[in-house]
């Protein structure tokens, strides 16, 4: 009986991109935890460095590629003039920026065996640094600007359909706290500018990242409230995945700052490195769930088990 149900469940999940994304990310996280345990037991940082430089970097690139490829498939499911076509175009541009961002920052912008620049006879550290900065710009400002535009189209559709939720008091408190964080951060920049500090172009181009993350956080909260209002269906799950991805990205961003200011002691701060993997997985799950909903509606994929059915 139990075996039959497991078999049914496995058959149901076969061929679904969401299952592949979740399974692969879980396997990598398990490997990451094993590397962290080995590092803790032996005291050799090579374990964790190797994990993040090779398998971890490859996972991030793969998830971004999956997000982009699935996003293109979803975009093609919407005809000209349909409200979500524009949203998915922006999301595809966002994921394409993420792919390039990860390629530059995780592969070309680090000294690892995966980096073809490292195999040159005399690799220039300045060139590698440039690659990293370009990757952070593409994967930061550019990516989040496109994503914010895409999610605003989604919210417009929720509003038009009458399913738009409302922010609650704790949502406003969270946004307020993040706004205070932004004001403090930009206050520091202003003080540094007045003191005559000269910032590099790549640093300046990275300044919009945090305001964009604040905007995305607001959109993510509104999406969550809207999805809650609908009662969470297969369609809502797609947008909820994007919201989770944004929450994790903001958490990772705050974690980076907290580590930089020594608010999180070493080695606890290493935990924040793992956040980017589930965040990237949640970004890839968004188009995966949307595509599955479209395929189930079209009869191309068997419907998932419904609530109340055993």
Partner 1 sequence: MEPHPDPAPARSEPETPGGIFAAMRQWRAAANSAGKVGPTLHRRVAVELRPYLGSSAAGAVLDDVSDSSANLLSTIEPVLAGFLGARAASLLVSRIVDTLIVNN
Summarize as ranges the residues that interact with partner 1 (CB under 8 A): 77-79, 82-84, 157, 160-163, 227, 229-236, 293-299, 303-304, 306-307
CA angle (261, 266, 271) in 5-degree steps: 95
Give the distance, in angstroms, between the CA of residue 247 and the centroid of all CA atoms in the same chain.
9
Query: Least separation, in Å, of the C-beta of 159 and partner 1?
Result: 11
* 20 vs 15: CA distance, rounded Å: 8
Query: Least separation, in Å, of the C-beta of 76 and partner 1?
Result: 9
Using the minimum distance from each CB to partner 1, give the nearer residue, 74 or 279. Answer: 74
Using the minimum distance from each CB to partner 1, give the nearer residue, 192 or 297. Answer: 297
Query: Least separation, in Å, of the C-beta of 91 and partner 1?
Result: 14
Query: Least separation, in Å, of the C-beta of 154 and partner 1?
Result: 9
* 129 vs 108: CA distance, rounded Å: 9
Query: Least separation, in Å, of the C-beta of 69 and partner 1?
Result: 18
Q: Per the omega criterion (within 30 degrees of 0), is the bond before 239 cis?
A: no
Q: Tell me how far CA of residue 87 lies from CA of 102, 153, 156, 172, 296, in angstroms.
A: 22, 5, 10, 25, 21
Which residue is it, tokens 């701060």? 269
Using a 10 angstrom Cβ sphere, with 0-12 exposed, 13-18 middle and 19 or more buried, the burial of residue 58 is middle
Using the minimum distance from each CB to partner 1, give the nearer residue, 128 or 157. Answer: 157
Using the minimum distance from each CB to partner 1, give the nearer residue, 226 or 259. Answer: 226
Using the minimum distance from each CB to partner 1, give the nearer residue, 43 or 299. Answer: 299
């Amino acid at each position: 009986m139990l075996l039959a149900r497991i078999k049914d469940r496995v058959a149901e999940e076969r061929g679904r991109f969401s299952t592949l994304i979740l399974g692969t990310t879980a396997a990598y996280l398990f490997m990451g935890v094993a590397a962290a345990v080995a590092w803790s037991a032996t005291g050799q940082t090579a374990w964790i460095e190797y994990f993040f430089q090779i398998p971890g970097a490859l996972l991030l690139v793969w998830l971004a590629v999956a997000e982009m490829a699935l996003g293109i498939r979803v975009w093609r499911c919407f005809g000209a003039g349909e409200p979500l076509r524009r949203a998915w175009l922006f999301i595809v541009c966002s994921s394409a920026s993420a792919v390039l961002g990860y390629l530059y920052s995780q592969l070309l912008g680090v000294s690892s065996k995966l980096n073809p620049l490292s195999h040159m006879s005399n690799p220039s550290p300045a060139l590698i640094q440039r690659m990293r900065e370009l990757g952070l710009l593409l994967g930061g400002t550019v990516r989040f600007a496109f994503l914010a535009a895409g999610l605003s189209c989604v919210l417009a559709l929720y509003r038009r359909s009458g399913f738009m939720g409302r922010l609650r008091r704790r949502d406003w408190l969270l946004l307020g706290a993040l706004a205070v964080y932004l004001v403090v951060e930009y206050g520091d920049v202003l003080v540094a500018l007045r003191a005559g500090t000269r910032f590099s172009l790549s640093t300046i181009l990275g300044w919009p990242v945090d305001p964009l993350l604040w905007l995305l956080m607001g959109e993510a909260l509104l999406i969550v409230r809207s999805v809650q209002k609908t009662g969470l269906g297969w369609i809502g799950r797609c947008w909820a995945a994007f919201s989770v991805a944004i929450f994790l990205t903001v958490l990772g961003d705050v974690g980076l700052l907290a580590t930089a200011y020594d608010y999180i002691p070493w080695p606890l701060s290493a935990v924040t490195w793992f956040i980017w993997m589930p965040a990237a997985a949640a970004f890839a799950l968004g188009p995966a769930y949307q595509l599955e909903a479209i395929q189930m509606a079209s009869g191309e994929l068997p419907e998932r088990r419904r609530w109340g059915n055993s």
